[in-house]
Amino acid sequence: MKKVFLSLLLVISFVSYSQTFTCEYDYNEKTDSTLIKKTPDYLIHESVFGTTSTFVFFSLVNSDETPYLSLQLLRKSKDFIKASCLNQASRIFLQLANGKIVTLINSSEEVCSNLSYNSAEKDNISILNSYFLFSKDGYEDLKKYPVTLMRIKFTTETIDYVLPKEIKSENFKEAVYNPEEYFIRYLKCVE
C-alpha cells in the first residue's frame, strides 16, 4: 500500500511540475510569411581552470517551422586562445541515457571564432556561434532521454563534454542549470 501511495504521489508531482513549466523566448515573431522563435541562451558546460574559462551555451531556434540548435562557445583567458572553426562536415553528437547517439548537422559553410581583447580585465576572448540542424533519427528520443555526453567535431579537432545533471555556475552566481535535461525541457518550445 505504501508503494502504491508513493508511486501515485511521485506521478502527481511529476505531472504538476511538467504542466507548470512555461517556455520563455528572447525573440518570438510571427507574420503572414515567417515564424521565428528563439529561446534564451542556456549554459550546457562550464570549465574554469587557472586563468582560462570555457562556456558552452545552447539556445533553440524555430525559423519557418525548422528547428535549429544555436551553439555558442565562449572562451576567456589571460593566455592566447587559438581559433576554433566549424565547417559543413562539423557535427554535434549527443549520447543519450538510453545509449542512442543523435547527430546534429552544422548548417553553416565555414565559421571561425571571433577573437577580441578586454583591456580592462586583460583577457583574450573567443566567441564561436553556429547553427545545427536536427536529424529526424533520434529527434523524438531527445524529448524523452537525458543527454549524458556531447561531442563537437570542429574543423581540426574533436572535443568531448560530459554533461552533468546540474551546474551551479562559478560565474553566473544566481543560476542553476540542468544540461542533461535541456532538450527534454525546451525542445517543445520550438515545435
121: left (phi over 0), alpha (psi -120 to 50) or beta: alpha
Q: Which of 168, 141, 135 is nearest to 43 (CA)?
A: 168
**For residue 30, how far is the Cα from the chain centroid?**
24
The predicted pLDDT at position 20 comes to 60
Band of pLDDT at residue 34, cut at 50, 70 and 90: confident
The predicted pLDDT at position 68 comes to 95
- Determine the Cα–Cα distance for residues 8 and 185; give it in Å rounded to an integer: 22
Residue located via cell numbers 528520443: 141
pLDDT exceeds cutoff 80 at 12: no
Band of pLDDT at residue 15, cut at 50, 70 and 90: very low
Per DSSP, 140 falls in state H
**Which grid cell sits at 37?**
522563435
Query: Which stretch of 19-23, 132-136, 149-153 has the lowest confidence by average pLDDT?
Result: 19-23
Q: Where are the alpha helices (DSSP H) in the chain?
A: 2-20, 139-142, 182-186
pLDDT tens for 68-108 read 999 999 999 999 999 999 999 999 999 999 999 999 999 98
The predicted pLDDT at position 179 comes to 96
Contact 163, 44 (CB under 8 A): yes
Q: In whole angstroms, how large is the CA radius of gyration of the chain? A: 18
Domain boundaries, the chain: 24-190
pLDDT tens for 53-68 read 999 999 999 998 899 9
pLDDT exceeds cutoff 80 at 10: no
- Determine the Cα–Cα distance for residues 104 and 151; give it in Å rounded to an integer: 10
Strands (E) located in the chain:
27-30, 35-38, 42-49, 52-63, 66-77, 85-87, 91-96, 101-106, 110-112, 114-118, 123-134, 147-153, 158-162, 167-168, 176-177
- Determine the Cα–Cα distance for residues 155 and 144; give it in Å rounded to an integer: 31
Mean pLDDT of the chain: 88
Band of pLDDT at residue 30, cut at 50, 70 and 90: confident
The predicted pLDDT at position 22 comes to 87
